[in-house]
Amino acid sequence: MEIGSIGIVGAGQMGNGIAHVCALAGYDVVLTDVSEDALAAALNLVTKNLDRQVSREKIDAAERDAALARIRTTPTLIDCAKCDLIIEAATERETVKQAIFEDLVPHLAPQTILTSNTSSISITRLGSRTDRPQKFMGFHFMNPVPVMQLVELIRGIATDQETFDACKSVVDRLGKQAATAEDFPAFIVNRILMPMINEAVYVLYEGVGTIKSIDTSMRLGANHPMGPLALADFIGLDTCLAIMNVLHDGLADTKYRPCPLLVKYVEAGWLGRKTQRGFYDYR
Ligand code: CAA
- Residues of the chain short of pLDDT 70, as ranges, are none
Q: Do 152 and 167 meet the contact criterion of CB atoms below 8 Å apart? A: no
Residue 163 is predicted with a pLDDT of 98
- pLDDT number for residue 275: 96
Please tell me whether the interface predicted TM-score (ipTM) of this complex is above 0.95. Answer: no
Beta strands in the chain (DSSP E): 5-9, 28-32, 71-74, 85-88, 113-116, 136-141, 150-155, 177-182
Ligand 1 near 189 CB (within 6 A): yes
Chain-centroid distance, C-alpha 157: 21
**Domain map (residue ranges) of the chain:** 5-182, 190-274
How confident is the model over 212-240, as pLDDT tens digits?
999 999 999 999 999 999 999 999 999 99
Is the CB of residue 56 below 6 angstroms from any atom belonging to ligand 1?
A: yes
133: preceding bond cis by omega (within 30 degrees): no
Residues 6+ apart with CB under 8 A from 22: 6, 8, 29, 170, 174
Q: In angstroms, rounded to a whole number, what is the distance separating the alpha carbons of residues 183 and 85?
A: 20
Q: Do domains 5-182 and 190-274 have the same CATH topology?
A: no
**Distance from the CA of 48 to the center of ligand 1, in angstroms?**
14
CATH architecture of the domain 190-274 equals Orthogonal Bundle (1.10)
- List, in order, residues 6 or more apart from 213 with CB less than 8 Å away: none
Q: Ligand 1 pocket test: which of 55, 117, 147 has the largest number of ligand atoms within 8 Å of its C-beta?
A: 147
pLDDT tens readout for residues 191-206: 999 999 999 999 999 9
CATH class of 5-182: alpha beta
